[in-house]
Every structure is written in C-alpha cells, then in structure tokens.
A and B are shown apart, each in its own frame.
Chain A
C-alpha cells in the first residue's frame, strides 16, 4: 500500500463528502450557517478533486486506492474512463442539488439528519463509480441503499414510511441476489477486478452454464435499482421523498447505480464478446426494450407530475441497458452518453416539479394550466428537459437516440429503430400535453397553495437557478456534442477502450 497522491485521490473523493456528512449529523438543528458551510465545502472540495482526477486521467496517470480488508478481499477504488464519466456527473449534479436542497428545506424539520444522509448517499454513489472490483461495488451499492432509506422516509408521513418500506424490500432483496452472484463468481475466478474488455474471456467453457446463472443473479440485483420491469415497483412509490431526493437520487444516483452496474458487468467483467456468445445480451436487450415501452405507456396514465416523471425514468434509464445489449461500439456510445444526458435532463424536470409544488402547491398535471405565465423561467427549463427527453435536436436527448439507432443498425438489429420510434411517440404523448397546458391554457383564478418569497423572480433564488443551470447543460451537451471533453466524446473514448479499437 503506497500513500502517494495517485493512491490517495480516489479515496479522498469518497471521503470529501463522507466527512462533512458525519459532522453534519452531530450538529445542533439550529446551526444553519455551519451546516450550509459544511455542505457547500464538501460539494466544492469534491468538485476540485474530481477536476484533478479528470486532468490526471487525461494525462494517462493511474489512480488507485487499495485497502486489504481481509485476506483475498481488497477494497479497490480506481479511476478509468467509465468511472470518470459517472463520478463527474454525480459530483456536478450534487453541487447543484445541494444549493437546491438548502433552499428547499429552508423551513422544514430534521435538517441535520437529511443533509447527513444526503452526503452519505453521494459518497456511496461516487464509491460505486470508482469501484475497481466487484466486492467494492457490492459494498457501496448496499451502503447506497441504506443511506437513501432515511431520505425516502424523511417526511415521516404514513405514505413516506410505506414508500420507504417498499423501496427497502426491493433493494435489499436485490442486493442479496447481487451478493450471492458476486460471491459465486469469486469462487470461480478469484478476485473479480473490473478490466476493460472483460476478465472472464479465458475461463473454461465447462463453466459457462454457471456463468449464465451468475449473470441472472447479478442482473436481478442490479435491475432492481435500474428499475428494469418487473423490478421497477419501488421507484414510483419512492416519489413521496422530498424533491431534492427525487431529483438527485431517483433520477441520477440510485437508478444510475443499477444501470452503471449493468454496464460494468457486461463490459468489464464478462466482456461484451463473451456476453454475446452466451446469449446474455439478447436477454438484456429484450428486458430493456420491454421496459422502455412499458414505462412510457404507464407514464401516459399518471396525473401526478412526479409519478409521471418516475415512470418516464423507468423507461429512459433502460436506454442505457439497451445500448449495452447491442454488440458494437456505436450503440455503446449511445448507451453511455445517455447515462449523462438522461441524468441532466431528468434532474431538470424534477427540480421544476419541486418548484411548482413549493411555490404554487401544484403537484398534478391537471393543475398546470397556464403555469408558464406564472413561472416562465422554471417552465422554460422544464420545456428544454421535456423536449430533450422526446429527442428533439439540438437538445442532449437527441444525441443519445441518434447513436442508439445508428448502433442498432450497425449491429443488424433493426427492431431497435421500432422501439426508439414508439418510445419517442410515447414520450411526446406524455410530455407535450403538459407543455400545451403550461404555455397555452388560461391561468386559474387561484393556485392550490401559493407562496411569495419576496424576490422579484418567480420563486426563491436557490430553487430557481439550479433547474435553469441544468437546462443550459442539456442544451450545451447537445450543441457542443463534438467538442473535446463533452459527454459524447468521453463516451467514445470509453467505447474505443472497451472494444480495444
């Protein structure tokens, strides 16, 4: 174990939010200023460290933190191109969400508990992103489950407790399946390190039967968080959580942890060639396609805005799995870039939903008539997110869909185009009516529960600017897709390495 800079950095990135989180738990409820300072300090420190990491990875440095926790069991944190993608996404969005959450929870209760667990969640997410082997991944995956539970239950109402219970039942059972799969794989191969191109390629063909069963266990465990149908039932129920939780965790961290895990297992454990030989990609593709269509159909019928967004998440996250299931680098690019694009678009939508609820008490689609005139900036951000989800150029979502379609054609799987087309139609079917109501219907005489925050803007600053900023990200990610360091370029870099191009 060497303790130089390169060996410390990945660990430091995890700790940078863990430590402030622990201190926040210990704070008295009334220490607003100190809590805010700790929160922002953690978020900014993490961003700086991630900046150093990106720079180093770009220079070709190897970053790895190793801690032996028992003979043969080693905690490994390292940074490859794929980790950097997810780490950067979580870190940037964490900073934005922290600002949002401070505004959102200004006058609510139990803030020390909330922000403490919030920081733990981000530490766990970053840990997942930086995991260098399956053991480390499993550990952080479970920690994420535990740290999210109190946030879902946070409001303390009977619905919140119930939603949290359902969430826990799904994720803990999934976690156990993942654990059994990981242990089983460990007995076959020794330590399961993530290696670009996969590490099971030269295993004896006699073991292929076992590998298929193990894949089923791993996929079941990861599929719960990635909300693959029929394991998605927890996600709509978790929408009882406060808006910052729904935004960051249920649009980005938790569901992405599942999707990211699937990507890791397919590319860096099994290897895409072996996974394809064993027929695993077909299974994944069918599940993902079904989820995409099914989630969208259910989204059509929801009147609750957050529920509609939740089913939309169910559908959209499976684009990542779909891209992974197609053999060929272009589809991989499409899936990976959607990891980022779906994140920034969906967080924008959830922030906006939170603003509507906090400012006007509007939580249902049917109450949104004319809301664009009362809250133009928020609704503009919402519009950008929604159109991006539909896949309208030049917004980020278009880039993902383009590469997914192209990848399907390249892999000779033309049915992918049918899935994408029907999904786009369905997306339009559940987003356009909202936009029509918001911009073109007349204002109601009175909003359900209106607050004035004493600014000349439509709502308080801490709530207004985060969605505007992330909406700008959505536009930039689409417009500047070909620029260096854009999500698309980075996804290309990963795909090249996975396919050894």
Chain B
C-alpha cells in the first residue's frame, strides 16, 4: 500500500471513524471530546471526497495488493458520493446532539465507540466495490446498530434490539448465500467483473436468479420493506434519540443503497419489469400501511418509526419506473430524483428524531396527546418537527417535493398511473400524521420568551430539518451535477 493511498479521501472516510473508535475505547475519559474530533474529521474527509468526485468523476482504489478478483476494492461514483455526503453531514449533526444527550458515564463510554464503528460501517458500505467487503460492512453496521439501540438498557429496548440483531443476521446469511452462489459461478467478488460475467452468461439464468432472490430478499429484510418491517418500529422507537435518528435516517438507507447497487449494476440483465413489480407493489403497501400506523401511533417516536417504513416504500416505487424508462436523460433524472428523495428523507428523519428526543427529555414522555405544553414551550424544536414533517409529506419547497413531482411525472409518462394514486394517498396520510403532532403546538399555555432554549441540541435538529426543506428543495441542482448524470440539463 503506498502512502498516497493512505491519505486518499476514500480511505480516510472509513479509517478515521475506525481510528476514532479505537481512541475513545483507549481513552474513555476523553470520549466526548475525541468523539467530536473524530466526527468533524470524518465529515471533513467526506466533504473532501465529494469535492474530488465533483472534479474528477468516479474514483477507484485497490487495497491490499491482491489481484482484482480478491482485492479490497473501494470506489466512489456519484450515487455513492451523494449518499456519503448526506450520511456524514447527518452523522455530524447527530454527534453534536449526542455530545449533550447522555449523562451517565457508562452510557457515554459505550456510545462513542459503537457510534464511530457504525459510522465506519456506513461509509464502508457506501464505498466498498466488492461483494465480500460489502458483507463485512453490512455485519459491522448491523451489530453496532443493534448494540446502540439497546443502550438505554430497559427491557423493551433490549428485546426489540435483540430481535433486530437476529433479523439482521438472518438477512446477512441470506445475502451471504447469494454471494457464495455467485462466487462459485464466476470466481470473483468484484462488482464490475461480476456484472460483466452475468451479462455474458444468460445460460446461468437459474443461478443468477437464485442469487438475486437470496441477496435482495435478505437485504429487503434489513431495509424493512413491507411485510418484513415488523422489527423496525419497536427497535427504532425504543432506542435513545440520537441512535433512532441514525438507524432511521442512515442505516436503513445504506441497506437500500446496496439493493439499488445490486439491482442496477449487477443484476440489470434479469431485473426487468416483471421483477421490479413485486418490490414496488410491496413498497406501495408499505406507504399506505406505514402511514396508517403512523397516524394511529400513540407515541411520537413510534410515529416517526412507522413513517420510516412508509418512506422506504417510496424508494421501491422507482424500480419499475426505471425499468420502463430507456437509458438517457429521462432515466438519469429519475435516478437523481430517487437519490434526492433518499437524501431528503435522511436529513428530515434525523431532524425529526432529534427533535422528538428533545420533546421526550423535556416532557418526560412522548405521548402525542399530552404534548400540548411541551410543544409550546420549545419553539425551535417544534419548528424542527414542522420543517422535517413537511419534508416527510413532500410539501414544497422540500427535496422530496421535487422527488415526488418527478416520480409522478414518470409514472404518468410511462403509463403506470396507479403509482400516482399511491403517492397522493401516502401524502394525504402523511399530512394527517404530521399535523396531528403539530396541532398540539397551539394551546393556551404561556408564551415562550425565547426561540432557542438548548442550543447544542436544538441547532443540529433545526439545521438538519432546514436542509431537507430549503436547501435540497431549492438548490438541488448540485445533486444532479454530482451524479454526473445529465450535467447538460442543469441550468439549461
């Protein structure tokens, strides 16, 4: 390994949080300060990575000195970079919030190493270029996430996250079986080589299809696609707020990213319209069912968790539309819209959970019906919920509004108008559950004297929410440029 490789932003994005995790484990008394330092450094590396990809296009890197069949391959294209940038900025916000969230020493000392491990797993998953490393990162992510989720130590949280861990392992095993099948057939784990192999061997259809089914089904379980979502609401709702934010906004998104990668890069010769319909139909049910359960939820964090089930559904709706659109600017725009929705949801859901955590700390509970006074007392927090809520509904000017606009446009253009009905139903239900919370913010309680009461917690929540609404909605042009997709379309 050359020295240049070590300081490459691709490597730094994964190495810095790992290094941070080791440091906070070795020096537990300094864990908050070292943790924040590692968070800032990692986020800076992610920004540097984005800048490099912006200028140079897709990056590749081989580590370990083996040949391409077995080497540790890293790569960053537009899709990965957009998600890495989102994940790292959100994670930075979560870190700042978390630095003031935990109070007892044991929790502080367990949080930071696990959190930085999770972060390393996230970046690794986005940037890995071969199936085996993807598996390793997936496991790292799953284990760190379940451990973090159980951090409060109460029985509900431990039970929910033990289930989460087992479900995750089941999903990983299914994925690993698929990987084994492919390795037996093609003798390589590199994504690029495998893609070429699958495209060239239509005679191996049975193997390809079996591998795809195993891998996608395993990942769908981890991504909580309906009806495999059962584990998500209790796990996300019972975790400490910063962890809920990371699980809902980032971890689920990373797993979806992996499905998308496999679907588009690896299995594209066999993922036609028929194959795409099933996940999309499940996604449609997820939208309606998840939103409905969110509307019926009694607790704020449970509402947010069910809303994640619904939001994941939207992402799967894009698969048949991508299948029906011939390669070209229209398909690139659709892909960009998909990413914009995923990125917007990342920011919005993190903001929502962080704000929900503040409400919970402040009120001592998060029962929606009794939130009146609390919502009124914390204007900035209520604002964060309102802003991220409107991004969840897909109201303008949020990024998800543009995503939904392009989604519906493509559905009408390709004659799949029924998705329009799904999207509008989902939006109506989402408005109902978001405003069910917001209507508590107007009461006869005394006027709050100040907008911000707890800057370290409220500013990250508000900033994340604001990014999802204003920045991504009105200035999402750079997303398209970063993806290197239809660069000509921007500004024309």
Contact = CB atoms under 8 A, between A and B. Distances in A.
B451 A112 contact: yes
Contact of B451 (A25, A154, A157, A176): A25
Given A28-B451, A150-B442, 10 more contacts: A27-B451, A69-B474, A71-B329, A146-B395, A153-B442, A160-B442, A165-B439, A179-B408, A183-B405, A186-B409
24 contacts: A28-B449, A29-B447, A29-B449, A68-B477, A68-B492, A69-B473, A69-B477, A70-B337, A70-B340, A70-B476, A71-B486, A71-B489, A72-B489, A75-B474, A109-B446, A109-B447, A111-B447, A143-B397, A150-B441, A154-B442, A156-B445, A165-B435, A168-B435, A184-B412
Given A69-B402, A69-B474, A183 B408 contact: yes
A70 B336 contact: yes
B396 A180 contact: no
Main secondary structure, interface of A, reads helix
A172 B428 contact: yes
A389 to B, nearest CB: 32
Interface string A138-164: 110011001001100111110011001
Interface of A: 1, 25-30, 67-73, 75, 109-113, 135, 138-139, 142-143, 146, 149-150, 153-157, 160-161, 164-165, 168, 172-173, 176, 179-180, 183-184, 186-187
Contact of A176 (B336, B428, B447): B428
Given A70-B333, A146-B390, A168 B451 contact: no
Nearest to B445: A156
B442 A70 contact: no
Nearest to A175: B395
B424 interface: yes
A187 B413 CA distance: 6
B446 A187 contact: no
Contacts of B420: 180, 183
B490 A71 contact: yes
A117 B486 CA distance: 37
B439 A161 contact: yes
A186 B404 CA distance: 14
Interface in B406-459: 406, 408-409, 412-413, 420, 424, 427-428, 431, 435, 439, 441-452
Contacts of A25: 379, 383, 451
B444 A157 contact: yes
B476 A187 contact: no
B291 to A, nearest CB: 14
B480 interface: yes
A180 B422 CA distance: 12
Contact of B409 (A1, A109, A172, A187): A187
Contacts of B336: 70-71
Nearest to B337: A70
Give the top 5 A-B pairs by smallest Cβ distance, nearest first: A71-B489, A139-B396, A153-B442, A109-B447, A156-B442
B439 A153 contact: yes
Nearest to A24: B451
Nearest to A153: B442
Q: Which of A72, A138, A160 has the most CB of B within 10 A?
A: A72
Interface in B84-102: none
A237 to B, nearest CB: 14
B435 A68 contact: no
Contacts of A26: 451-452
Contacts of A172: 428, 431
B476 A156 contact: no
Interface string B368-389: 0000000000010001000000
A280 to B, nearest CB: 21
Q: Which of A138, A139, A150, A168 has the most CB of B within 10 A?
A: A139
A68 B428 contact: no
Nearest to B413: A187
A359 to B, nearest CB: 23
